[in-house]
Amino acid sequence: MTLQQQKYGIVAALNLRGMKVLKLGKGIGDKVITIERPSRDFRRKAVQITESLFGKRQQFYAIRFNGFTIRWDVRD
């Protein structure tokens, strides 16, 4: 199964759980998917990450799901 096929399988699984996919990683081997409205079980298992890029600070939550990193904004 190609990475592209895996991504679409994960997107389908997330959609079935009621989560909205906002962005797929586009780089080669990029396994990061950004979502909105995480499920309750995702929120319970997530870790909070603070990232600083180009002087801008951003906070988000992330969880591993079937080999992919699923992330969402702290406000969701």
The total domain count for the chain is: 1
Give the pTM: 0.88
pLDDT digits (tens, 9 = 90+) for 63-76: 999 999 999 999 86
Convert the chain into a string of H (helix), E (strand) and C (coil): CCHHHHHHHHHHHHHHCCCEEEEECCCCCCCEEEEECCCHHHHHHCEEEEEEECCEEEEEEEEEECCEEEEEECCC
Range of the domain at 33: 3-73
pLDDT by residue for the chain (76 residues), tens digit each? 888 889 999 999 999 999 999 999 887 778 999 999 999 999 999 999 999 999 999 999 999 999 999 999 998 6
